[in-house]
Amino acid sequence: MNDVDRSIAPAEVGHLARAVLDAVGTVVVGKRDALELVLAGILAGGHVLLEDLPGLGKTLTARSFAQALGLDFRRLQFTPDLLPADVTGSFLYDQRNGDFSFRAGPVFTNLLLADEINRTPPKTQSALLEAMQEKQVSVEGVTYKLDEPFHVLATANPIEYEGTYPLPEAQLDRFLLRVSFGYPQHEEEWEVLRRRMGRRREEADIKAVVDAATLRAMQAALEDVVVEDSIGRYIVALTAATREHPSVLVGASPRGSLALLLLARVRAVFGGRDYVVPEDVKSVAAPALAHRITLRPEMWLRRVDPAFVVGEVLEATPAPASGALPSYAAGGPRH
């Protein structure tokens, strides 16, 4: 059996995920909930938008996860003069061979940090679209497949708008979820300083907990996590309710329902289960749906936030019985 064919159980996925989070937590202090969401996005096979103020650990988080997951990592700083070819690569003339050869861009990696993605023009932003959705890039009519796993962790500053290009809805929808870290508590910030003095250098290295092949096996194992019909219908009802909310101009697309499904499966594994309960769905609803909602213009004047809308939708949408287990759950009935 080769590495690609390796199979593991959902219970082992939870164990490995906790080990990865513990490793990343040695560098990124006090952000366990946010780190769990980032890892959930990766395990669910998606891309994550880290939207927060500068200096709160977004870049450090991306690099730390790459190290802990044993992934090839590249960082691309998005700037106003960045061209699509700077992302995907381009054909260059080789004088020795008298022909053009393709030089791969930074998108050919396992984990790409797209730093300050909202600082580059839409044409360059869109260069990531095909890679994020199709796991391939097209250059001069030639299509190149990206090696799996492939994930994009993009950072954006939500406050400073001068010289930025807001991501269009079509590209925001490509991100499985959006995560914010927020400022640390005083003790957490002191712990950051204490650890920096302890290691006597700026860089912090993490030993790999898993490798790329194991990550692919962990992602494949999530397909064995059972989602009962009532939970699936609850997911659909939540997403549909965002389209009918009076404060919303455009609600979440069916891709939002899919994001809820995939992330809820990961949450179930984090909780030591191979089946999803409503609480798993609720815990990821705001990160999975809020960035897919476009509010009516007048709502911005009232300081209504998309996450607030998701909260109202959660309160208004009846959930199935929390303890209900699927009769066809792996391993037979539980008591």
Which DSSP helix (H) or strand (E) runs through 195? helix 186-199
Q: Are 289 and 145 in a shared domain? A: no
Mean pLDDT of the chain: 88
Residue 65 sits at the vertex; the CA angle it makes with 62 and 66, to the nearest 5 degrees, is 85
The whole-number pLDDT of residue 122 equals 86
Q: Are 256 and 151 in a shared domain? A: no
Tell me if 83 is assigned to some domain.
yes
Tell me if 76 is assigned to some domain.
yes
Q: Are 102 and 180 in a shared domain? A: yes
Q: In this model, does residue 2 exceed pLDDT 70?
A: no
Which DSSP helix (H) or strand (E) runs through 130? helix 127-134
Q: Are 14 and 58 in a shared domain? A: yes
**Full-model pTM:** 0.89
The whole-number pLDDT of residue 5 equals 54
Q: Which residue has tokens 């909780």?
A: 271
Tell me if 250 is assigned to some domain.
yes
pLDDT more than 70, % of the chain: 93
Query: 1 or 179, which is more confident?
Result: 179
Please answer whether residues 120 and 159 qualify as being in contact, where contact means their C-beta atoms are separated by less than 8 angstroms.
no
Kindly give the pairing relationship between strand 248-250 and strand 294-295. Answer: antiparallel
Q: Are 126 and 275 in a shared domain? A: no
Query: 271 or 204, which is more confident?
Result: 271
Query: 73 or 57, which is more confident?
Result: 73
Please answer whether residues 304 and 246 qualify as being in contact, where contact means their C-beta atoms are separated by less than 8 angstroms.
no
Say which range, 75-79, 90-94, 117-121, 238-242, has the weakest mean pLDDT.
Answer: 90-94
> CA-CA distance, 14 to 20, in Å (whole number)?
10
HSE toward the beta carbon, residue 305, CA cutoff 13 A: 6
Tell me if 220 is assigned to some domain.
no
Tell me if 236 is assigned to some domain.
yes
Per-residue confidence band for 123, with pLDDT thresholds at 50, 70 and 90: confident
Look up the domain containing 271 and give its range: 225-316
> CA-CA distance, 231 to 82, in Å (whole number)?
44
Per-residue confidence band for 21, with pLDDT thresholds at 50, 70 and 90: very high
Q: In this model, does residue 37 exceed pLDDT 90?
A: yes
Greatest mean pLDDT among 49-63, 75-89, 127-141, 210-224 lies in 210-224
Q: In this model, does residue 196 exceed pLDDT 70?
A: yes
Read off the CATH number of the domain in which 46 is found.
Answer: 3.40.50.300
Number of domains in the chain: 2
Nearest to 62 by CA among 118, 126, 132, 115: 115
Q: Are 36 and 182 in a shared domain? A: yes
Read off the CATH number of the domain in which 312 is found.
Answer: 1.10.8.80
- Helix, strand or coil, per DSSP, at residue 238: helix
Q: What is the dihedral of CA 225, 227, 228, 230, to 10 degrees?
A: 160
> CA-CA distance, 274 to 105, in Å (whole number)?
39
Q: Are 140 and 252 in a shared domain? A: no
Residue 21 backbone phi and psi in degrees, to 5: -65, -40
The whole-number pLDDT of residue 167 equals 82
Per-residue confidence band for 133, with pLDDT thresholds at 50, 70 and 90: confident
Tell me if 328 is assigned to some domain.
no
The 10s digit of each residue's pLDDT in 145-194 is 999 999 999 998 776 666 677 787 878 888 999 999 888 899 989 998 99
Nearest to 139 by CA among 92, 88, 197, 70: 88
Residue 315 sits at the vertex; the CA angle it makes with 282 and 301, to the nearest 5 degrees, is 100
Q: Are 258 and 177 in a shared domain? A: no
Please answer whether residues 177 and 49 qualify as being in contact, where contact means their C-beta atoms are separated by less than 8 angstroms.
yes
The whole-number pLDDT of residue 239 equals 97
Q: Are 237 and 190 in a shared domain? A: no
Q: Are 80 and 147 in a shared domain? A: yes
The 10s digit of each residue's pLDDT in 270-328 is 999 999 999 999 999 999 999 999 999 888 777 788 999 999 999 999 999 854 454 44
Q: Are 180 and 267 in a shared domain? A: no
